[in-house]
Amino acid sequence: MNKYLFILTFLTAQMMMSQNEQPNIILMIGDGMGLTQISSGMYAHQNTTVLEEFKYIGLSKTHSLDQLVTDSAASGTAMASGVKTGNGVIGIDGKNNFKQSILEISKERGYKAALVVTSSIVHATPASFYAKVHSRNYYETIALQLSEHEVDIFAGGGKKHFIDRKDKRNLIEEMAGYTFVEDISEFEATESKKIGFLTYDEEPPNLIEGRKPALDKMVSISLEKLENQGAPFFMLVEGSQIDWGGHDNDMNYLLAEFKEFDKTLREVLDFAKKDGNTLVIVTADHETGGLSLVGGNYKKGKVKGKFNTEGHSATMVPVFSYGPSSEKFIGIYENTAIFDKMLQVLDATKN
Ligand code: MG
Ligand code: ZN
């Protein structure tokens, strides 16, 4: 073979290989994180956010099956499984079909999976990726469904739903294949491939009240572990309490939670840049508080917000994407399209 032809063939093969290699997918949801929450967090923190490093930006329509204003269950289900459903419903569409989530589909295709959140692990947003229940309030059922699942790493609160149950079962004991860790150093140290880290008995407190461990720390440890497992991974990261700051109409609460989420973005984006085959999608399930930004001083890191509701609002939310296939996420689309696009990414690559 001609030397140059050989080099060309070699290079083409290399290119094909990298195109067909299954990418990691990291979906980051700031619950209740509309554009004003992002703007507020940015101006309050040296007029900067890691989101400025994302090249592709889209907008997502968040309405649920029958309500203009969605809740986190319906919007979580839309992004996780690609269907609109009623508020409060997880993993089941309007015709009572139980839907596979992108986490479950990726698992079938050889992926590892992780969930890392700052609410309880059975709360609506993470639950949308593994549970199928008619009400988000069925926490014990959701915990049971997680225990029967194959999520490789999960971290979040809500331990009581696993051990202090009406049916008297102890799910932690039943999950024999898992190592349950008690704190961040145990989490870091364990070499187990299946890890449960139930950070609090109840819902974790907010950051100002001293929530630990930090989301960015939990995520960076999880990334390190996933990277060493020799398979691609799907990971959901949720800044769960940006939403709760909005419900409380509490700007300081919201800003602290956003800051931690932004620090976590730093970890994730640095990982993706280094890895070269990691798709990162950052979005929200809806906006919370009907927040508008009416004053402040970015040089002093001060922002003045005005809330219009203690509930959610129906405004579109931004979608930021980075990495392979990130250009798919530009434009305006329904939140269900986030699932469709992630599935296209899985379909375009082989096992
Ligand atoms: Mg949530
Ligand atoms: Zn909410």
Q: How confident is the model at residue 6 (pLDDT cuts 50, 70, 90)?
A: low
Task: Give the ligand whose atoms come closest to the C-alpha of residue 238.
Answer: 1
pLDDT of amino acid 17: 47
Q: What are residue 313's DSSP bridge partners?
A: 287
- Which of the ligands is closest to the CA of residue 288? 2
Query: Which residues sit opposite 332 in a β-bridge?
Result: 59
Which entry of 40, 64, 72, 106 is annotated as an active-site residue?
72
In which band, very low, low, confident or very high, does the pLDDT at 3 lie, cut at 50, 70 and 90?
low
The two beta strands, 312-313 and 233-239, are unpaired
Write out pLDDT tens, residues 211-251. Answer: 999 999 999 999 999 999 989 999 999 999 999 999 999 99
Q: How far is CA 175 from CA 60, 188, 268, 279, in A?
A: 37, 20, 29, 31
- Catalytic annotation present for 40: no
CA dihedral 242, 215, 152, 160 (to 10 degrees): -70
CA–CA gap between residue 28 and residue 230 (Å, rounded): 22
Instruction: Report the predicted TM-score, pTM, of the whole model to 2 decimal places.
Output: 0.94
Residue 54, number of CB atoms within 10 A of its CB: 21
Among the bound ligands, name the one nearest to the CA of residue 287: 2
Q: Tokens 């947003």: give the residue.
A: 125
Query: Over the stretch 312-345, which tens digit does the pLDDT of each residue have?
Result: 999 999 999 999 999 999 999 999 999 999 999 9
Burial class (CB in 10 A: 0-12, 13-18, 19+), 177: exposed
**Ligand 1 centroid to 242 CA: how many Å?**
9
- Give yes or no for residue 61 having a pLDDT over 50: yes
Query: How far is ligand 1, taken at its centre, from the CA of residue 101, in Å?
Result: 16
CA of 123 to the centre of ligand 1 (A): 6
Q: Which stretches within 29-150 are classed as H helix?
A: 35-44, 72-81, 102-108, 124-127, 139-147
Check if the beta carbon of residue 159 is closer than 8 Å to that of residue 201. yes
CA–centroid distance, 103 to ligand 1, in Å, is 17
Distance from residue 72's CA to the centre of ligand 1 (Å): 6
**Residue 240, CB-side half-sphere exposure with 13 Å CA sphere:** 28
| % of the chain exceeding 70 in pLDDT | 94
The residue type found at 295 is: G
Architecture per CATH, domain 22-348, reads as: 3-Layer(aba) Sandwich (3.40)
Residue 104 has pLDDT above 90, yes or no: yes
Q: What are φ and ψ of residue 106, in 5° steps?
A: -65, -35
